[in-house]
Structures are given as C-alpha cells and as structure tokens.
Amino acid sequence: MQQKHGNIMRDPRVFRGIASSQPLKFAVSPVLFMSLSEEPTTRAVGPKQVRRKLRARTPEAVQGRKHVNVQTESYLEELSDIPEVKETECQTDAFLDRPETPIFLAAKTGKDAATQIYEGDLFDFEEEVQPILEILVGKTLEQSLLEVMEEEELAALMAQQRAFLERRNNELPEVHRLQEQERRRREERERRMAEQRRALEEEQEVAEKIAARALTQQQLADLVPSVLASLRREGYFYDPVERDVETHFFPRLMDDVESILQKNCRARELLDGQTLCFICWSLWFGNLVCFWFSNLECGCECCSSDLFVGQRGLTT
Amino acid sequence: MSRDSDAPPAPVAFGRWAVPLLAEQLRLPGRDVRLRALAALIDVLRQPLRGPEALTEGFLQQLKVLLEDEDPCVRAKVCQLLHVLAAHTCGRQALLAASFLPPLSQLLEDPPCRRTVFLLLSRLSLHSSGRVSLLTLLPKLMKKLQEEEEEEEDEVQVLFLSLLRCCFQADPEAALRSDAVALLAPKLSNGALNICKAAAAAMMALSVPMGGKVEVCDQKVLPAVAALLQEEDEEAQLNATGVIMFAAVTTAAGV
C-alpha cells in the first residue's frame, strides 16, 4: 500500500511560526492531538485517515497513573518552550573616534594545498655526511702523509750525512796516515841523500886538499931558489961599487956623449938644409925652361915627370 | 710568562691569505696581538709545504725588526718561527741571504732564546754553505767558550759544542789559531757524559789538520780522551776513538 505523501505545507507535524510563540505539539498527549486534529481539513478523508485513526496506540495509562514523556537519550536535555533569553545591548561611545578602516584583505582565491614533511624526506644524514667525511678523512690523510714523508725525508738526509761522515772519518785518517808515511819516507830519503852528498863533498874536499898540498909542496920546493934568482935578477943583491958607478958615473958620461952627438946632429941638419935650398932653386930654374918647352907641345920625358908636375903645381 | 705563551693563536685566514694577514698583524703595536699572531704563524708554517710561503723579503725584514724587540717572549717566539722556517733548504738560504746572523749572534746571550738559537744555527749548518757563513760567528763562539759559565743547562752546552764542531769541520785552521784545543780540553773531563761526548766530537774535528794533531799531542789531551773510552756509551767511545785515530797518525803521538 503506497502511502500518499501529503502536502508538506499542510502537514500538522511541521511547526510553523515563531519558535517562542506556540507550545510544542509533541509534548501534548495523543488524545489531545487527536482532538485537535479533528478540525475539518481540506484534506481528503480516505483510507489513510481511517488507517491513522485505527492505528494501535499506546495503551491508556493505568488508573491513577499518567503517561509521562521521558527522554531516553544518553544526555538529558531540559525541554522547555521558553528559551532562555538574555538581553544585552551595546552602544558605541559617542566620543570615541572612528576606528580605522581595517586593512583590506582580498578574498582568498586559489586552491589550498597542504603538505607534510616526514622524517627522512628532506635530509638523510647518512648520504649527506659522506662527501664531507671523504674530504675530511682525505685531507687528514694527505696532511699526515706529507708530514710523515717530510720526517722520513729529513731522516734520510740525516742518515745520508751520517753515512758520509762515517766514510769521511774512515778515509781521512787513512789518507793522513799515508801522507804521514810518505812524508817520513821522503824525509828519510832526503836525509840519506843529503848525507851521501855531504860524504861525497867531503871526499872531494879531501882529495882537493891533498892535491893542493902536493902542488904547493912541489911549487914550494923550488920556491926558494927561484925567489933568490928572481931577486938577484931584479937587482936586489947588488955590488955597491958597481951601483955607484952605474948611478952616478954613467949618467954623466951619457949626458956628455949625448951633447956631443946632438952637436953633430945639429951640424948635419944645417948642412942638410942648405943642400935642400940649393936643390930647390936649381929645380925652379929648370921648371921655367920646361914650361917654355911645354908651350911647344913637347912630349919629352922630363916634361911629363912627376917632379915637373909637382913644380907646375907649385907655380900655378 | 707561561700565561702569555699559552695564549690562543690568532684566527687564521684560509688559503693564500693566511700568511699575509698574520704578517699585517705583526706590525700592530700591541704585544699580545703580536704574540698571538706569532703563535698562529708557527702553527701554519709548520705544516708541510707551507713553509716557503713566508719567504718574502718584507716578511723577513719584519722578523728581523722583531728580533730586537724589548719583550723576551716575542724574541723567543720569533726564534721558534725562524727555527721552523729553517727546516726547508730555501728557508735556510733565504735566512743566510737576508743576513740574520748578526742579530742572532746577539741573541746568544739571551737566556730564553738561547736554546732555540742554537737549534736554529745547527739547522743552518746542515749545508756546507751555511757552515761557511757560520764561520763569521766563530770569534764570538770562541770568546763564549773562554768565558764559560757553569750555570748553563747541559742541553744548551751540548748544543753549543755541536755547533762548535760544525764550525771546526768547516775551517779547523781558524779555530786552531784561536787556541781552540786548550779551551776545549777542560770540557773533556767535565761531569756530564753528553758534554764529554760533544767535546770529544769537537776535538775530533779539530784534529783533522796536521797542526791540530800536533796541538792535541802537545796539550796532553789524550789521557782525558782515553778515559772516555772506558765509558759504556757507544757514541762516547766512537768520538774518543776518532780523536785518538786522527792523532795517532803523527809520530809524536805514537811515542
């Protein structure tokens, strides 16, 4: 059986009017409700209404009791048709300034979107830390390697120096020893050679001395007679009479002889001069004769003689 | 003093700018700033391959100026820094070329820096050219040997004697002229074994030339050296043997 839906505008169950004006209908007992609903309505009376009337209702209350409406909800609420009313009023202060216009906020347009970041979405420590760790560890290792290498280098240098010093100390005294040995030997040799030389010289000296002595002896052997002879030769041993004759007598004798001879000479010279003068005069005369002959181109011998030429030279 | 040397080092810039920035800080007048900058520089330059970064002309001149600073801590730190720089060959050459030896020889008298200066000089003498340059210090060292003070620590004495040995190896004649054998002889019978060892090593270097051998025999050093042979330490025996070996070459020593 299909129930016909009544017009909702005519449904008595829908409350009309102000909520505070009319009593609540469902607080009324069903008998009252039925009597109220017996007013003539424009609704068609039909099987529906009949059905409604004949519907079984809650049985009547027992004598002396009354049905009471009870709320069976878990939370009870006070039902009343008089709502609580409180009056409040407000009035702005007449002397207050007009408040500022609130800032205009444009109405929000667009879609709201929300997001939620959970642990491990943005930042994963394990991943991020890896390059940093690599650099740190790498740099530290590099630095430490460099330091260790530096130390090793220094140690190697020191070891090399030590080795060199050791070698030097080993070889130097050897060298010195050999030098010393050489020097000693050389000194010895030179000393011996000097000794030998000195010995030779001495020998030579001795030989020379001997030779000299022999020679001198030989010379000196006939020294005395030769000395005497030479002295005698020089005239250191003289006979005084003879000397006297020589020194005094002979010079005077010789002077006299000399003067005589000089006189002789002088006489001869004078004679020679005279003779020469005469010869010259005779020659000059002969020259004149020849000159005269020469003008006649005479080629005789006496013209071409030197004496003649000389004479001519004299005259010209 | 210890509080200052434990001061934290200055912050170090990264890469190429580390050394120049720290060098700038050295020029500032504050003493603490300088100490911290020096400590930082020592740390930086001690890393391998970073030493030669500091070998610019200006930096070395700056260090030379700081060597004559009034504060002994600063001087000590500068000596340490130079010691680190001298670990490299180019560092040694640069130090010698920049004529660091005169101020260093001044610092030999300075108690806090003495040990570091000796270490530095021994590093400089590793190469023969360094030893030749060290010969200029020889008169001063001989004078120091003469006016010996007993309060010095053993380690400093040993370092001093090893430095003398390097100088003697370079030029024994000069040392012999300044009477080194006579001055060294008392050290051979000194108390500590290290000092005797070092003195014997120096004597060995002295007895290489002929004149040295003769002097060693003349000064009657050999009995003291022979006493060293009785010691159990290998190196002492070594050095003593060396001296006797060199001296025994001459005929006089055989006698």
> Which string of DSSP letters, residue by residue, matches chain A?
-PPPPPPGGG-TTS--S-TTTSPPGGGS-HHHHHHHTTS--SSPP-HHHHHHHHS--PPPPPTT--------SSS-----SS-----------TTSPPPPPPPP-PPP-S------PPTTSS--HHHHHHHHHHHHHHHHHHHHHHHHHHHHHHHHHHHHHHHHHHHHHHHHHHHHHHHHHHHHHHHHHHHHHHHHHHHHHHHHHHHHHHHHHHHHHHHHHTHHHHHHHHHHHHT-S--HHHHHIIIIIHHHHHHHHHHHHHHHHHHHHHHHHHHHHHHHHHHHHHHHHHHHHHHTT---TTTSSHHHHHHHHHH-
Tell me how crowded residue A20 is: count the other CB atoms within 10 A of its CB: 9
Contact A147 B48 (CB under 8 A): yes
**Top-confidence residue, A84 or A155:** A155
* Percentage, residues of chain B above pLDDT 70: 93
Tell me how crowded residue A308 is: count the other CB atoms within 10 A of its CB: 20
**Top-confidence residue, B243 or A39:** B243
* The pLDDT of residue B52: 80
Distance from the Cα of A199 to chain B's closest Cα (Å) equals 28
Contact A180 B251 (CB under 8 A): yes
Contact B249 A154 (CB under 8 A): no
Contact A176 B47 (CB under 8 A): no
- CB-based contacts of B100: which residues, under 8 Å, 6+ apart? B60, B64, B67, B82
Concatenating the DSSP letter of every residue in B140-202 gives: HHHHHHHS--TTS-HHHHHHHHHHHHHHHHH-HHHHHHTTHHHHHHHHHT-SSHHHHHHHHHH
Q: How far is CA B22 from CA B4, B27, B91, in A?
A: 18, 9, 18
Alpha-carbon distance B119 to B82, whole Å?
A: 10
**Is A268 among the domain residues?**
yes
For residues A219-243, one letter each, b for 16 or more C-beta atoms within 10 angstroms of the residue's C-beta and e for the rest, the string is eeeeeeeeeeeeeeeeeeeeeeeee
Contact A173 B48 (CB under 8 A): no
Contact A184 B251 (CB under 8 A): yes
Closest CA to B54 of B27, B86, B76: B86
Contact A173 B245 (CB under 8 A): yes
**Is A271 among the domain residues?**
yes
Alpha-carbon distance B133 to B139, whole Å?
A: 13
* Percentage, residues of chain B above pLDDT 90: 0
Closest CA to B164 of B213, B85, B151, B148: B148
Residue of A165, A169, A174, A184 to mutate, testing the B interface (most B Cβ within 10 Å of its Cβ) = A169
Of the partner residues A143, A161, A177, the one whose CB lies closest to the CB of residue B47 = A143
* The pLDDT of residue A41: 52
**Is A243 among the domain residues?**
yes
Alpha-carbon distance A53 to A56, whole Å?
A: 8
Q: Which domain holds residue A248?
A: 239-282
* The pLDDT of residue A303: 47
- Lowest pLDDT segment from A21-35, B40-54, B93-107, B128-142: A21-35
**Is A245 among the domain residues?**
yes
Tokens found for residue A217: 């002896």
**Is A256 among the domain residues?**
yes
- Give chain A's mean pLDDT: 81
**Is A277 among the domain residues?**
yes
pLDDT tens per residue, range B12-57: 777 778 888 888 888 888 888 888 888 888 888 887 777 787 787 7
A155 to chain B: which residues are within 8 Å by CB? none
**Is A269 among the domain residues?**
yes
Of the partner residues A150, A161, A180, the one whose CB lies closest to the CB of residue B48 = A150
Q: Which residue of A has its CA nearest to B127?
A: A161
Please count the structural domains in chain A: 1
Of the partner residues B47, B242, B249, the one whose CB lies closest to the CB of residue A180 = B249
- Give chain B's mean pLDDT: 80
A177 to chain B: which residues are within 8 Å by CB? 249
**Is A171 among the domain residues?**
no
Contact B48 A184 (CB under 8 A): no
Task: Please give the ipTM for the structure prediction.
Answer: 0.72
